[in-house]
Amino acid sequence: MVRIQLCGRFAVVIDGQPVESRLPGRQERLLVAYLAAHRAQPVARAIVLDALWPEGGAGAAGTLTVLPSKARTLLAPAEIRGRRTL
């Protein structure tokens, strides 16, 4: 079972074990939180880019390519699906 807590202290618990400390950086935690909050529908990559990097920034698009891959590995059995939309 996967539980993601968005209110209060951010937490990711898989099978009773906290794993949020294994998310390597702020952007990855923000990605997981954003996708959890918007889990009812696919979110376009452009919208995720704007949410995580509102000022833009060099390399943001490239970083967004890597972040879901890392999160997919950590969050199994939960899934992050999609390429153009997440």
HEC string for 29-59 = HHHHHHHHHCCCCCCEHHHHHHHHCCCCCCC
CA distances for 76 relative to 34, 54, 59, angstroms: 17, 28, 27
pTM of the predicted model as reported, rounded to 2 decimal places:
0.85
pLDDT for 20 equals 92
Angle separating helix axes 45-52 and 60-75, nearest 10 degrees: 100
pLDDT for 79 equals 82
pLDDT digits (tens, 9 = 90+) for 22-73: 987 888 999 999 999 999 999 998 899 999 888 877 788 888 888 888 888 8
Write the burial class of residue 10 (CB in 10 Å: 0-12 exposed, 13-18 middle, 19+ buried): middle
